[in-house]
């Protein structure tokens, strides 16, 4: 039996990107042209060699006609494409941090990120998908909501409860 927490949702990004690109019939070059980036970026992401920014993943999702939240974190379904609000990340982060009564130092300790990284994101700097997931986990919120402003703020628990066995009536 394997114990521990499951891999973060962004670990599946390379596979989701490659399968969606292939299903759409695009080469790496064709996708890179549609998304406005280099074909090397597509290769690095599909190979799991580099984690991308929220904006780059959103451009890929738009080019592929799929949901950015699904592509980045595997949340929801591919068909749930919609408008993303990457610019609101800093505001969402600051408001949840304040709501939870956490200081920036508390969040730095909980995530292992630098205070400059947290401050930068709160001031509007772009963040990578792995960084947003680390912050979301520390705050107990959905990375899709935090990063893109899509979906519920808090994800329902992943564990399914077993229903009570049926009892025979007398």
* Largest Cα span, the chain: 70
In angstroms, the CA 148 to CA 72 distance is: 10
Model's pTM, two decimal places?
A: 0.83
Angle between helices 104-111 and 115-122 in degrees, nearest 10? 120
Q: Is residue 110 a contact partner of residue 119, using CB atoms and an 8 Å limit?
A: no
**What confidence tens digit (pLDDT) does each residue in 107-126 have?**
999 999 999 999 999 999 99
Which residues, at least 6 apart from 144, have a Cβ–Cβ distance to it below 8 Å?
A: 69, 72, 73, 75, 76, 150, 151
Smallest CA-to-CA distance from 150 within 167, 166, 164, 132 is with 132
Q: Is 159's pLDDT higher than 80? A: no
Residue 46 tokens read as 């599909």
Q: Assign 162 a pLDDT band (cuts: 50, 70, 90).
A: low
Backbone φ and ψ of 53, nearest 5°: -80, 160
Give tens-digit pLDDT for 33-50: 999 999 899 999 998 888
More confident residue, 45 or 9: 45
Q: Given CA atoms 151, 152, 157, 163 in this order, what sign does their dihedral have?
A: negative
Q: Is residue 163 scored above 70 in pLDDT?
A: no
Number of helices (H) and strands (E) in the chain: give both, helices first. Answer: 10, 0
Token pair for residue 120? 């930068």
Residue 137 Cα to chain centre, angstroms: 11
Closest Cα partner for 134 from 105, 108, 153, 101?
108
């Amino acid at each position: 039996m394997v114990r521990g927490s499951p891999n973060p949702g962004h670990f599946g990004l390379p596979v989701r990107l490659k399968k969606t690109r292939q299903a759409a019939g695009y080469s790496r070059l064709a996708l890179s042209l549609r998304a406005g980036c280099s074909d090397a970026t597509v290769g690095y992401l599909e190979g799991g060699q580099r984690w991308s920014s929220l904006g780059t993943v959103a451009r890929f999702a738009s080019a592929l006609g799929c949901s950015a939240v699904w592509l980045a974190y595997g949340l929801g379904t591919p068909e749930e494409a919609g408008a993303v609000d990457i610019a609101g990340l800093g505001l969402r982060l600051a408001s949840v941090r304040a709501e939870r009564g956490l200081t920036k130092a508390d969040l730095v300790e909980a995530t292992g990120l630098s205070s400059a990284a947290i401050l930068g994101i709160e001031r509007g700097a772009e963040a990578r998908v792995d960084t947003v997931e680390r912050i979301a986990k520390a705050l107990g919120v959905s990375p899709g909501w935090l990063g893109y402003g899509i979906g519920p703020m808090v994800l329902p628990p992943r564990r399914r409860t077993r229903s009570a066995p049926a009892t025979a009536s007398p």
